[in-house]
Structure 1
Amino acid sequence: MIEEIVLKRFKRFRDQAVPLVPDGVYLVAGANNSGKSTILHSLAVWEFCRTIIEAEKGFEAFLPGSNVQGLGLGDDEFSPILVPSLNHLWTNLKSQKEAGDVDGYTLRIRCKWQVEGRVKELEFGLSLANDRMFVKSTFSNLEDGDKVPRVAYLPPFAGITDKESRLPLAIRRRRIGEGVAGSVLRNVLLDLQRLNHKKREKLREGRGKIKDSDLRDLRQSDPWEVLQQTLREIFGVELSIHPFREEYHSYIKVEVIKGSHAGHRINRFPRYKPRDLMVEGSGFLQWLSVYALATDPNISTLLLDEPDAHLHSSLQTLLLEKLEEVSSVTKKQVLVATHSSEILRSSPPEKILEVRQSAPPRFLKNETQKVGLLAGLGSEYSPRMDKVKKNKRLLLVEGEFDCRILKQVADKMGVEWPDRWVEWVSATGHKERRQLFKALKEEVEDLKVVSLRDRDDEPLETVGEGLNDKAHTNPPPGFNCRKWRRRHIECYLLWPPAMAAASRFSVEQINESLRDKYGIAVGEGFKDIAPPQALLDVRGKEILKSFNIDPHKVIPNMDEEEMPQDLKDIVNQLVRLAE
């Protein structure tokens, strides 16, 4: 299994070594355009080079000192990954020879693995001349007979076809190496079924039926048995492969049977007619392709590029669990590039390879780093993180509503809102936000964070001077925990004159409703730090909603001297901390 990839001028990586773990299921994660797919693509191209050179020149082309000439091919012959043109394989689209290049092979991909405790390396160089690409083995320490990893790359759509003929193993390996693994899916399924049939016949020799203990072991270890049982449990289906004879069958026919799951079988639905697997949904086909190749004994390293793309969130984590089970039996190496927060959240940090734009890829070591990764996923990651790195100030709130209210308060106070604060909406508590702060601190040295939350049902005694959250003890320097003294921020908007101005009700009607329905009387103490207990615990959101009042229309109808002191204190703190 591959332990390291060394890339020279391949797509996003000009000169980069990428560590891998030789067996098990590992995730490749990071922001958009960080290089996740580049890592998988490099292995797919490496496998393509290995496949075509071995097919055309033989294994001896990989041995040191072979002096085999490079193999030339055009755009239409390059198939492992989709690129607009071949020069898109090179960093910054520059394929020309540069100072220090010893030959014309300017792009290099080297893989390292172990054979019986010895490190083995095989590097391929690529060059481009007149829109024709040349591929050659540029470094190797292999010996004749050494086992070379077999890589299969499976993008979200992998060329599944409804007419798939029986193919020799060499041709199937070539198609997988060329990046069209889906086109041999039916061949893989037929192989798994035939191997299972042979095992069953052997276990049945001299007996009327297979021993219960042998059958139990077979169901737990045989790839076809495991695949079928997984399909029964998850999708309520099983596969039926029609008998295939090379002498007179042209295509491999695989149908899906649906029914109710009962043990190790499916009870077919009444009058249900089996149908070809091609008519099933994209999620099922994606799942089947992934799992079938994961059980294929001819593949040692499986690359999955966002296999969760067409799967419901509940199936995403389940797919990972099943891949882990298969990998533990087959010792297969599986790399999964993903954006799925469901998958990442359920995975231990050491199983995640984080790809970053500003630093080398790394395996995470702790939950703090994983929190930072999860917070950064999504299309808004890069611009927001760029602003955090520049401004070094982050305001964590429970909703965009909070920031809009605070900006209105600042305007009423005649205070300029400090634009240095980067607003970040997070429904998590201070504990989780603290993890985010620690993760971001690794990237932003002088970072200051204000984490502002509602009190909700927490005791009033947990709010200290300056709205400090006393329940969160010993925060790290730069991490400021604040909690509203009142139940939530809407409770600071229950000033009857402002409510009346923002609604169709009069001040008298509002006061009457507050008194009769909610048991509160709002007077001069409304603005104080320690108002009556009823104002601290009342549910302000519910009250504003009952009057059909837009919260954003309340503060503009209040004078500065009418606004609660807590709102002013938070604004003053933000102004001070922004300096």
Structure 2
Amino acid sequence: MIETLELSNFKKFKKEAIVLKPEGLSLLAGGNNSGKSTLLQSLAVWDFCLTVLRNEKGEESLTPAHSGQGVGLSDDEFSPIQIPSLAHLWTNLTNQVKGADGYTLSIKPTWKNLDGDEKYLQISLALANDRLFIKQTSSNLELGERTPHIAFVPPFAGITAKEQRMSIAQRRSLTGSGLVGGTIRNLLFELERENQSKRNALKNAKGRIKTSDLRKLRESDPWEILQSAMGRYFQSSLSVSPFNDLYHSYIRVSLVKGEWDKTRIKKFAKFKPRDLMAEGSGFLQWLSVFALALDPETDVLLLDEPDAHLHSSLQTLLLSELESVAQTHDKQVLLATHSTEILRWAEHSKILMFKGSKVRYLGDEASRVGLFAGLGSEFSPRLDRLKKSKALLLVENESDAKFIKKMAEKSGTPIQDNVVIWAWTGSSKERKQLFLQLKGDIPDLKAVSIRDRDNLEQKNVDEETLRDKSETNNDANLRLRVWQRRHIENYLLCPDAIARAAKVDASEVRDFLANEHGIAVPPNFTDQGIHQAIKDAHGKTLIETGPNSIEKKYSISKFDIASELRPEEVCDDVKVVIGDILSM
């Protein structure tokens, strides 16, 4: 994974050293022409040059011992990024550079190998007579040492109409050349074949796989994860046709539509599978990005505005899935975006801000305000709306706001659309600082902040108003609130509503909660003074994230439960927060 990136004379960066987080998801944010795409492109060009040197000069050309001539390319052989002319790679290209050999552009990433040793490879470029020359100019690599495998997905990337079968080496070469759209079917073929191999190895003498082994496979195998995401988000699955070199010319991958049934798609009776090319650009963009993230050959995934073709709801879903894959499969994902939906969703520490000549990760939540302002009104509609409505609701994520709005409708007191939702994690103290910064530009601003109690002691939450007593607040226009119950999901532990959503008897739900989780829901479920055991329950785990959650048991989501709540089943705490919001 890349830890630092040193650039000299590459496009807008004349001399820059950029520190990157080597694992997980990083979001590159800033105004137009701030350098987001340039950073991604520099790594794509480096990977392309690395591929060329390996193919033309061999592994020795990457080591310090090599001092030979560079490799020359014509402009039509340069494929990693689209530029009008090779001269556009340089910050300010001049024909004569006194005291230099012409290799005036350099890209030097640094990473750690499996032993934790720091490694680097600087590749430099020169341009003469419309030919590009590439060579290694600084390295501490040993012969045959592994380098990071990078995949770059530019804006509006699609997939080719047909793909011949390729070896992993051929696929890696195309990916290194910036032609990932021509490798997606091959990648899907490899993922599916590896999955079948794993399944065959797990089968017993009767041809069955133990339930525990199957569960582990579904949680860890890239093909299983991809198919699960396809089923949950698109109600579809992928079907890879068998391939035989003797009589097949191209790999065929079809899409199957149906109903998601916990672990697989039940195909619609009259649906005819169709080739991937028949699908829309948004779907293909999502599939390409997610498949590449799951590719075992990919270490570093570079994404330039992958949200361009995606609906706002799919943007945050893609980000959530990418972050999960990055964490569980040891990937580094660098994603450039203008989307405020995405930037609102992410923790501030994941956002790499490009502003002026500075490139750095945000230090706190409050600095996100300046980032949004810097994106311009075209990309910060919420700030514009906030200046008009002067009413702000701070929640931890989009789903919390959706839940509160649903409860308001159930209670007969709907929340108006002009209340601006701002979702991000952070303490009440951090939210207060954000409110004060916003208030500097919007003097009449009013805000309600509501967050989970989590591990905050119960004594720090006022039982009637839900005021956060752990944070001093003297501004009457800011209401800092904390749910009395540990998680917002605790307010959905209503057996009758769960039973209606699952279409089972309420007694079954009560027995499940009691026997599997030790939770007995009392008749006064909606009261603020309910028993402490209900307040302290881990509602998020019980409802959706635990291995024996209600979601997994009954195949229903928390929103399914919320939709089934009746007005008299809406808890008093929730009504307090709704009242605070309506008072704005």
Q: Which TM class, normalised by the smaller chain length?
A: 0.5 to 0.7
The structure-2 alpha-carbon separation of the partners of 1:428 and 1:205, relative to structure 1 and needing over 3 Å to count, comes to closer
Offset at residue 237 of structure 1 (A): 0.2
* Equivalent-residue separation in structure 2 for 1:379 and 1:57 (angstroms): 50
Residue 71 (structure 1) aligns with: 71
The structure-2 alpha-carbon separation of the partners of 1:73 and 1:455, relative to structure 1 and needing over 3 Å to count, comes to closer
Q: Following superposition of structure 1 onto structure 2, how do residues 456-535 of structure 1 map, counting pairs within 5 Å?
A: 471=476
The structure-2 alpha-carbon separation of the partners of 1:340 and 1:436, relative to structure 1 and needing over 3 Å to count, comes to farther
SS at 2:135's partner residue? Answer: strand
The structure-2 alpha-carbon separation of the partners of 1:317 and 1:380, relative to structure 1 and needing over 3 Å to count, comes to closer
Q: Following superposition of structure 1 onto structure 2, how do residues 54-93 of structure 1 map, counting pairs within 5 Å?
A: 54-92=54-92
* Equivalent-residue separation in structure 1 for 2:373 and 2:436 (angstroms): 10
SS at 2:72's partner residue? Answer: strand
Offset at residue 19 of structure 1 (A): 0.9
Count residues with an aligned counterpart. Answer: 416
Amino acid at match of 2:157: A
* Equivalent-residue separation in structure 2 for 1:278 and 1:381 (angstroms): 31
Amino acid at match of 1:105: Y
Residue 557 (structure 2) aligns with: none
SS at 1:255's partner residue? Answer: strand
Q: What is the root-mean-square deviation in Å for CA atoms of aligned residues?
A: 2.9
The answer to whether the Cα contact below 8 Å between 1:156 and 1:306 also exists between their aligned partners in 2 is yes
Residue 215 (structure 2) aligns with: 216
* Equivalent-residue separation in structure 2 for 1:146 and 1:97 (angstroms): 36
Q: Does 1:368 align with 2:366?
A: yes
CA offsets 1:312-368 (integer angstroms, 9 cap, x no match): 101111101111111122101111111111111011111111111x23200111011
Residue 452 (structure 1) aligns with: 443
Residue 107 (structure 2) aligns with: 109
Residue 127 (structure 1) aligns with: 126
Q: Does 1:145 align with 2:136?
A: no
Q: Following superposition of structure 1 onto structure 2, how do residues 138-537 of structure 1 map, counting pairs within 5 Å?
A: 138-356=137-355, 358-378=356-376, 397-398=387-388, 435=434, 449=440, 451-453=442-444, 471=476
Residue 556 (structure 1) aligns with: none
The structure-2 alpha-carbon separation of the partners of 1:118 and 1:456, relative to structure 1 and needing over 3 Å to count, comes to closer
The answer to whether the Cα contact below 8 Å between 2:122 and 2:137 also exists between their aligned partners in 1 is yes
Q: Give the TM-score normalised by structure 1.
A: 0.68
Amino acid at match of 1:206: A
Offset at residue 24 of structure 1 (A): 0.7
The structure-2 alpha-carbon separation of the partners of 1:206 and 1:304, relative to structure 1 and needing over 3 Å to count, comes to same
Q: Unpaired runs of 5+ in structure 1? A: 383-393, 401-424, 440-447, 458-468, 474-579
Amino acid at match of 1:374: F
Amino acid at match of 1:347: A
The answer to whether the Cα contact below 8 Å between 2:446 and 2:477 also exists between their aligned partners in 1 is no
* Equivalent-residue separation in structure 1 for 2:66 and 2:241 (angstroms): 46
CA offsets 1:511-549 (integer angstroms, 9 cap, x no match): xxxxxxxxxxxxxxxxxxxxxxxxxxxxxxxxxxxxxxx
Offset at residue 68 of structure 1 (A): 2.5
Residue 35 (structure 1) aligns with: 35
The answer to whether the Cα contact below 8 Å between 1:260 and 1:267 also exists between their aligned partners in 2 is yes
Q: Which has the larger radius of gyration?
A: 1
The structure-2 alpha-carbon separation of the partners of 1:247 and 1:122, relative to structure 1 and needing over 3 Å to count, comes to same
The answer to whether the Cα contact below 8 Å between 2:339 and 2:379 also exists between their aligned partners in 1 is no
The structure-2 alpha-carbon separation of the partners of 1:362 and 1:456, relative to structure 1 and needing over 3 Å to count, comes to closer
Offset at residue 69 of structure 1 (A): 1.3
* Equivalent-residue separation in structure 2 for 1:193 and 1:10 (angstroms): 39
* Equivalent-residue separation in structure 1 for 2:287 and 2:477 (angstroms): 47
* Equivalent-residue separation in structure 2 for 1:50 and 1:455 (angstroms): 55
The answer to whether the Cα contact below 8 Å between 1:188 and 1:296 also exists between their aligned partners in 2 is yes
CA offsets 1:345-394 (integer angstroms, 9 cap, x no match): 011111111111x2320011101111211222246689xxxxxxxxxxx9
Amino acid at match of 1:303: L
The structure-2 alpha-carbon separation of the partners of 1:218 and 1:95, relative to structure 1 and needing over 3 Å to count, comes to farther
* Equivalent-residue separation in structure 2 for 1:456 and 1:271 (angstroms): 51
Amino acid at match of 1:366: D
Offset at residue 275 of structure 1 (A): 0.4
The answer to whether the Cα contact below 8 Å between 2:156 and 2:306 also exists between their aligned partners in 1 is no
The structure-2 alpha-carbon separation of the partners of 1:64 and 1:199, relative to structure 1 and needing over 3 Å to count, comes to same
The answer to whether the Cα contact below 8 Å between 2:338 and 2:379 also exists between their aligned partners in 1 is no
Q: Unpaired runs of 5+ in structure 2? A: 391-417, 423-429, 449-473, 479-584
Offset at residue 270 of structure 1 (A): 2.3
Offset at residue 296 of structure 1 (A): 0.6
The answer to whether the Cα contact below 8 Å between 1:305 and 1:337 also exists between their aligned partners in 2 is yes
* Equivalent-residue separation in structure 1 for 2:446 and 2:236 (angstroms): 49
Q: Give the TM-score normalised by structure 2.
A: 0.67
The answer to whether the Cα contact below 8 Å between 2:435 and 2:447 also exists between their aligned partners in 1 is no
Offset at residue 434 of structure 1 (A): 6.1
SS at 1:128's partner residue? Answer: strand
* Equivalent-residue separation in structure 1 for 2:447 and 2:195 (angstroms): 59
The structure-2 alpha-carbon separation of the partners of 1:77 and 1:379, relative to structure 1 and needing over 3 Å to count, comes to farther
The answer to whether the Cα contact below 8 Å between 2:156 and 2:308 also exists between their aligned partners in 1 is no
The structure-2 alpha-carbon separation of the partners of 1:159 and 1:281, relative to structure 1 and needing over 3 Å to count, comes to closer
* Equivalent-residue separation in structure 1 for 2:297 and 2:306 (angstroms): 20
